[in-house]
Amino acid sequence: MDPHTAAAWHTHPSPVYVYVVEGELTLEVEGETRTIKAGEAVAEPLDARVRALNTTDQPAHVVVFQVSPKEKAFLEEDAQN
C-alpha cells in the first residue's frame, strides 16, 4: 500500500487475515483504530465496516488471506464511502 493512501470502507463476507510483511498499516474497524506493524497479523471481524490506511511516508507490504469458497466475493465495498 502506497504511503498516505486509504482503501475504501468495505465489509468481508468471510474471515480475512492481514499480515504485515514490511512497514505498518492502520486498520479502522467501525470507529476503532489499530496499528499493525511488520511481523504482526490481525483477523478482521466478519461483516464489520473496515478500511486500511497507510499514514506513513513508507510503503506497506501486506499479505491478505481470506478463508472462503472460491465463488464468494472477496469484499463488498460500502456504498457510503
Q: Which among 6, 80, 17, 65 has a CA at the least distance from the CA of 43? A: 17
Residue 62 falls inside a structural domain? yes
Q: Compute the distance between CA of residue 44 and CA of residue 50 in angstroms, rounded to an integer.
A: 8
Q: List pLDDT tens digits, range 14-27.
A: 888 999 999 999 99
Residue 47, in any domain of the structure:
yes
Domain count within the chain: 1
Question: What is the structure's pLDDT at 76?
Answer: 62
Q: What is the mean pLDDT of the chain?
A: 87
Res 47: pLDDT = 78
The reported pLDDT for the residue numbered 13 is 80
If residue 32 lies in a helix (H) or strand (E), which one and from where to where?
strand 32-37
The ranges of the chain with pLDDT < 70 are 69, 72-81
Residue 63, in any domain of the structure: yes
pTM (2 decimals)? 0.79
Domain that holds residue 21: 5-69
Residue for grid cell 479502522 = 28
Contacts of residue 19, Cβ cutoff 8 Å, sequence gap at least 6: 40, 41, 62, 63, 64, 65
Residue 80 lies in a domain: no
CATH number for the domain that contains residue 63: 2.60.120.10
